[in-house]
Amino acid sequence: MAQFFEIHAQDPQPRLIRRSVNILLEGGVIVYPTDSSYALGCRIGDKPALERMRSIRHLDHKHNFTLVCRDLSEITTYARIDNQAFRLLKRLTPGPYTFIHQATKQVPRRLLHPRRKTIGIRVPDNVICRTLLAELGQPILSTTLMLPSDDRPLTDPYEMRTLLDREVDLVIDGGFCGLEPTTVVDMAQEPPLVLRQGKGDASRFDRE
């Protein structure tokens, strides 16, 4: 049975943040808010938890998961970023963007694009999410919380608890955080290519 934490969107309760992180460290799968929608997440190196997330969303092994990071310094641990890309990310993070980069050796091979060896990374502008990441001290491996029969993410934490009660370990109620997906930008090519227009302003790449 999933636990259910109501966490304040602007002033997260430290006790609940610590309990949430402990669930991740113990192999749990959680539902948590970002700046674009709710997401499923687990600890980066936890293969059983990753497979549980695949099962919930009916994803095959070609699906690209995202590393949700707390800041730019953490991104550089997992992605190869040159000076020009660093300056661009500094202007756009935190924010509703997912950036595709060449991965470093710190990223498990099973998470990489099979041919290009790339990984999606992002830094959300959401207080609960960033507080979780600061307490955890590493990225959360994530995917949007969208069930196989749906064409948009779930938005109601109470509905999430009802639907996923036996499939996740924790649902965090952080209030409404939107329905629009992130804007996805392939930074592994020159110039960067916008792969999906979402909540982030894609026109900013025309000016870079």
Query: How is the chain split into domains, by residue range?
Result: 3-198
pLDDT tens digits along 99-123: 999 999 888 887 877 677 889 999 9
**pLDDT surpasses 90 at 184:** yes
Mean pLDDT for 74-101 is 92
| C-alpha distances out from residue 167 to 70, 79, 107, 149, 152, Å | 26, 31, 26, 16, 19
Which has the higher per-residue pLDDT, 113 or 135? 135
- Give the pLDDT band (50/70/90) at residue 191: confident
Q: What is the pLDDT of residue 190?
A: 84
Give me the DSSP letters along 62-74: T---EEE-SSHHH
Query: What gap in Å lies between CA 152 and CA 178, rounded to an integer?
Result: 10
- Give the pLDDT band (50/70/90) at residue 206: low
**pLDDT surpasses 70 at 205:** yes
β partners of residue 42: 141
Asked if residues 155 and 37 have their Cβ atoms less than 8 Å apart, the reply is yes
- At the fourth CATH level, which superfamily is domain 3-198? DHBP synthase (3.90.870.10)
pLDDT tens digits along 9-65: 999 999 999 999 999 999 999 999 999 999 999 999 899 999 999 999 999 877 888
Q: What is the pLDDT of residue 79?
A: 92
Q: What is the pLDDT of residue 207?
A: 52
Longest CA–CA separation in the chain, Å: 49
Residues of the chain with pLDDT > 70, as a percent, come to: 98
Q: What is the pLDDT of residue 14?
A: 98
